[in-house]
Structure formats: structure tokens, C-alpha cells
Amino acid sequence: MSVQPVFSEDVRTIDELVNFALSEVSEELAWQAVSVLHRRGTAEVLQYAKRLSTSPCDRERRLGADILGQLGVPDRTFPVECAAILRGMLDTGQETAALTSVLIALSFQNCADAIPLVVRFSNHSSANVRHALYLLWPQKSVPLHVPSALSVMN
């Protein structure tokens, strides 16, 4: 049984949390640091995530997307800014894990205007990308092209 962290009591700086999330081998522990950043939800965390989102390092871009997807939980902060940064990340070359993180983050943001931007990934070679795309689509009232929707589910 793992002990649940008390996020409000974590005194690490943003730099420390980001460095920990980037270097930690245990995904569970890395996500605890990301969760602290989510819950802080400050303008400073937003700016840090924005810088990560434009990094030449795929792992840093993935972390930027992971932070932006749920910034400010439970009461979201900067949703418009987060969604805009995430949509912009779709226009840059992404390796599979980073693209998957961006798509999942967009699904957390309930970003309906991203649908036309992500349809091009419906035939992506990675099942993880197609699954992330599937997570994004059901939350929208936008009619989907049936063949594209079916290819995502296969």
C-alpha cells in the first residue's frame, strides 16, 4: 500500500519538482511531482510548462504537456492558455510519447476546437497515439467522420 502524498505540504521549488519528474525512474514517483505542480496551478508553473513545451528534448515536451493537461486541479487555472499551448504543440514534430501526452492533455482540457487539428493522427502507426486520440474524441459533440473514428478504435 502506497502512502498518498500531502500536496499542499510539498515545499520543493518548481525547478526541483521538474528535475525530479524528469530524472525519476519510478513513473509513480515522477507523477507525484507532476501532481504537486498541477495543484499549485500558478502563473509561474504555467510559464515553466510553456518553456518545457518548446524544448528540443522530447521528454521535456512530454512533461510540459503532462503539466498543462491538468494545471490547477481541482479548480482549473489558465485553461485558455493551457489549451492554446497544447494546440500549438501539435504543429511541432513530436515523437510518439510526447504526442500521446499532448493528445491526452487536450482531452483533459475538453478542447473541442482541437478536433480538426488532431484528425490527421487517426491513422498514426502507434496504438498509443490512436488510443489518446480516442480519449479526446468522445468528450466532444463534434460529429466524427465514421471511417476515421473506426480506424482510431482498431
In a domain, 147, yes or no: no
Within a domain: 145: no
Measure the CA angle with vertex 28, ends 55 and 98; round to 5°: 30
Total number of domains in the chain: 1
Q: How confident is the model at residue 7 (pLDDT cuts 50, 70, 90)?
A: low
Q: Is residue 44 part of a domain?
A: yes
- Tell me the CA distances in angstroms from 81 to 48, 86, 104, 114, 116, one per residue in order: 13, 9, 16, 14, 19
In a domain, 30, yes or no: yes
Is 132 contained in some domain? Answer: no
Instruction: Give domain status of residue 142, yes or no.
Output: no
pTM: 0.85
The answer to whether position 20 is within a domain reads: yes
Residue 124 lies in a domain: no
pLDDT in tens, 60-92: 999 999 999 999 999 999 999 999 999 999 987
State the residue range of the domain holding 15.
Answer: 7-115
